[in-house]
Amino acid sequence: MSDASADSASLAPEASFGDFFALLKPRVMTLVVFTALVGLLAAPNPVHPMIAFASILFIAIGGGASGALNMWWDADIDAVMKRTQKRPIPAGKVTEGEALGFGLALSGLSTVMLGLASNWVAGSLLGFTIFFYVVIYTMWLKRWTPQNIVIGGAAGAFPPMIGWAVATGGISIESVLMFCLTFMWTPPHFWALALFMRKDYDHAGVPMLTVTHGRRSTRIHIFVYTILLAILALGAGVTSIGGPVYMAIAIVLNMMFVKGAWDILNRDEEMSEVDNFKVERNFFKLSLLYLFLHFGAILIEAIMQRFGMGGW
């Protein structure tokens, strides 16, 4: 063997900076940052900009750390699913050990730093969120029950509560309502994805509702959860986090969302195959806008209230 070939063989698997960044699931992180920021700004207590910035950063790092630990544990199924094959571990760019160490280090750092920067209620909530996502959802529920998405959705719903806790040092009905909004939104969002990415979950052996209870049942579940979500979202509009602007946006979005779920309910597999799951894909895209605009509306109401407007 020549020196050159020995070099190539031993140097090949070294990860770049971007590979480590990809472990943090940057797209999920944007949702975490946005909802946490809304929770922080919607709270009645003003927060110093430097503390707010540092807190949101540490919440984002904590969210990213749980993503890295999720990729470490799920490397085997990520390698099978088309949607996740290019992630750093299945792509051979980062080793499982590196991802584990990276995730654990960032989990500890973000939790302690958030506690020091803001308060220990917020720090503890972030620590619990990472534990919930990694241990309860990823290690336990995901491969065990078709309700994985329902209960696991709680992990993604915590950030606005953490943001609220940064400002107030506690938990209140408003922060619980923001939690519930994301919690109830998660199942229809992921089940719509499971409908059109069906082969992925089949191959990976993840007990998604589509695999265990069939696709008809999944369509019914999407509709039922969407109705419950709409009731919750409109109900939140009459509380202190709502107001006329929120209500106007919520009415339009929920009508569109319920219509989308109704269309999904009234389709069968043949119809979906013909247009390559167009309705399901549109519903999934709408779900992203749905959450973004609801939290955007909460933010608008909070800003307006600072100027003596907004609210009821």
Partner 1 sequence: MSIIKQHEIHTRRYGRNVGVGLLLAGFIVIIFGLTVVKVTRGDYEPPLGEASE
The site for partner 1 (CB under 8 A) is made up of 7, 11-12, 14-17, 20, 48, 50-51, 53-54, 57, 116-117
Residue 40 · residue 166 · CB < 8 Å: yes
Cβ proximity to partner 1: between 53 and 144 the closer is 53
Q: Closest distance between partner 1 and the C-beta of residue 8, in Å?
A: 8
Burial track 142-153 (b if 16+ CB lie within 10 A, e otherwise): beeebebbbbbb
Shortest distance, CB of residue 106 to partner 1, whole angstroms?
11
Closer by beta carbon to partner 1, 51 or else 303:
51
Q: Provide the minimum distance between the beta carbon of 229 and partner 1 in the complex, in angstroms, as a whole number.
A: 37
Burial class (CB in 10 A: 0-12, 13-18, 19+), 171: middle
Give the span between the Cα atoms of 198 and 159, in whole angstroms: 29
- Shortest approach of partner 1 to residue 121 CB, angstroms? 16
CB of 55 to partner 1, least distance (A): 10
d(CA 239, CA 250): 13
Name the residue type at position 8. S
**Cβ distance to partner 1 smaller for residue 17 or 307:** 17
What does the alpha-carbon distance between residue 135 and residue 69 come to, in Å, rounded to a whole number? 9
CA 116 – CA 131 distance, rounded (Å): 19
Q: How far apart (Å, rounded) are the C-alpha atoms in residues 98 and 265?
A: 44
For partner 1, the closer CB: 102 or 185: 102
Shorter beta-carbon distance to partner 1: residue 43 or 106: 106
Rounded Cα distance between 18 and 22, Å, is 6
